[in-house]
Every structure is written in C-alpha cells, then in structure tokens.
Structure 1
Amino acid sequence: MRYAWMDEYCLSKVGVEKEYKLEWDATRYMIKGKMFVLLGGDKEGKPIATVKLEPGHGEFLRQQYKDIVPGYYMNKEHWNSIYLEGEVSDEIVKDMLDKSYSLVLSSLSKKLQKEVVGG
C-alpha cells in the first residue's frame, strides 16, 4: 500500500490516540476524542484517508488532484478524502495530515490543548 508510513506518522504526533471502529471498518486517529484522520474505504472498498482542512485549502487541493475528493460520508466543506492508491505526493499528504492535526488541536479548549502539548 502506498503511504505505508501514515500510521507511524499520525501516531508520532503528540497526544494522538488510535482506535479501530468495527462498525465502520475504519481506523480513527484522535486528539482527546476528536478525530483528525479516518482511514477506511469507499463504497467499492478502495482505501481512503479522510482529513479535516480549512474549506478554501481543501477546495484548492481537490481542484489540483483527482485523488482528493470531498470527504467521504463526512461534511464536504471541512473534510477531504485522499485515495490511497492515487498519485498525491507524500509531501502533500503529510501536509494535509499536519493541517488536520493542527485544526483539531486548535479547536480544543485551552485546558485540553495544555494537557496535550504540556505547559
């Protein structure tokens, strides 16, 4: 599988928890219970990763790459799915993961943010 590094990369981020949801047949990466990456499949079983992005940035990436589409089974404005058998570079995928992590972390209360990053 392409992007075999993704699991390790997500888990290397501070405060990330990994959970497999049997009923979704998908793996969630979360910060304090809030998801920032969902690894699963589309209705044909093609592997996808779904991440949260600022709406304008997500729209820009969807226009640039055929393998980045509106979030599968998610809010199409804020979530974007990447086909993992596609042609999106590792650098772009890592940037998307980083941005999703930052967005979700910043959405947490200041208290929870401090619990995650320390300080």
Structure 2
Amino acid sequence: MTSLTQQQAEQYLLSKPEAQITFPFGEETKVFKVKNKMFATLSVGKMGKSDDSGDTQSNCYWMNLKCDADEAVMLRDIFPSVIPGYHMNKKLWNTIILDGSIPLGELERMMDNSFNLVVSNMAKKDQQSILVRL
C-alpha cells in the first residue's frame, strides 16, 4: 500500500479553496485553515515532538482532522493508526498517524470531510464563496 507523504498531504490540503497554512503553535506544526477556521494540522509525531526512542509512531507525521462524532469512533475501530484527536476535542477530531496503513483514497476522503465539515458551519455567504469553487 502506498503511504501519503507529508508533502502530498500538505499539497492536497492546500488544494482546497481558500486554504492556507498558519503556524500558531510554532514552526513544527502546520495548521491548515479556511477563512480563519482550522480544518487540519500536520506535524511530526505529537505536535512536532518526535523522539529518538525508536517508536515509529512518534517519528511519523500526524494529521489532525475534524470528523463527525459517530464516524470518528468508527474510524478508530477500523484503523489502528486513527486515534482520538491529540490536543483536540476528542469527540470531533481524530489524529491520523501517516504510517502507510490507511489507503490513499480513504485519507483523501477524511481530508475532504474535515474541510467540508468546517465550511458547513460557516455563515452562508462564506460557504457560498467556497462552494462555488469546489
């Protein structure tokens, strides 16, 4: 199975209309926003804190994505590399450890879903300016 690289994840997230990267937690953690609303984070290990212990999960990229509460639990049951959102609301966010164990199409679906959930909670005029470009 091909794994999603950090560069591919970043490129995919930035391909969303009006998506941008910010660094509110330091340069180690990329925060992806649409109209100033966060829809993803990307960092090495736990919020940019990799370690030298040989723990492969800590040295993989971790991506936080917003998720429907019921789907969040189902994804955690299906994929061992999907865990409750690290430093996030664990009901509405998942952390995906990019270790190559999740199919690319599923990762893209999760990223799309996170973006769409954030957009759906915006004011109608903000939604329209984004949805017209999808």
Pick which of 66-75 and 6-15 moved more.
Answer: 6-15
Separation in 2, partners of 1:108, 1:21: 21
Identity of aligned residues (%): 28
Aligned length: 118
Runs of at least 5 residues in structure 2 that lack an aligned partner in the other structure: 51-57
Instruction: Please report how far the alpha carbon of residue 104 of structure 1 lies from its aligned counterpart in structure 2 after TM superposition.
Output: 0.3
TM-score normalised by L of structure 1: 0.89
Q: 1:110 Cα deviation (Å)?
A: 0.5
Note if 1:42 corresponds to 2:46.
yes
Contact kept in structure 2, 1:67 and 1:86, CA below 8 Å: no
Query: Does the residue aligned with 1:72 lie in a helix, a strand or coil?
Result: coil
Provide the C-alpha distance between the structure 2 equivalents of 1:22 and 1:34, rounded to a whole number of angstroms: 15
Distance in 2 of aligned mates of 1:77 and 1:86: 24
Instruction: List, as ranges, runs of 4+ consecutive aligned residues in structure 1 with deviation greater than 4 Å.
Output: none
CA distance, structure 2, for counterparts of residue 63 and residue 118 of structure 1? 35
CA distance in 2, matches of 1:61, 1:116: 27
Name the SS of the counterpart of 2:16 in structure 1: coil
Aligned twin of 1:23 = 26
Task: Give me the TM-score of the superposition, normalised by structure 2.
Answer: 0.80
Deviation at 1:22, TM superposition (A): 5.0
8 Å contact 2:4–2:100 — kept in the other structure?
no
Give the alignment's Cα RMSD to 1 decimal: 1.9
Q: What corresponds to 1:68 in structure 2?
A: 82
**Which residue of structure 2 lines up, in the alignment, with residue 8 of structure 1?**
11
Residue 7 of structure 1: CA displacement? 1.1
Worse overlay, 16-25 or 35-44: 16-25
**Compared CA separation, residues 22 and 62, structure 1 to 2 (3 A):** closer
* Structure 2: distance between partners of 1:110 and 1:89: 33
Go from structure 1 to structure 2 and tell me whether the alpha carbon gap of 1:8 and 1:67 turns closer, same or farther (over 3 Å shift): same
Distance in 2 separating the partners of 1:23 and 1:91: 30
CA deviation after TM superposition for structure 1 residue 24, in Å? 6.7
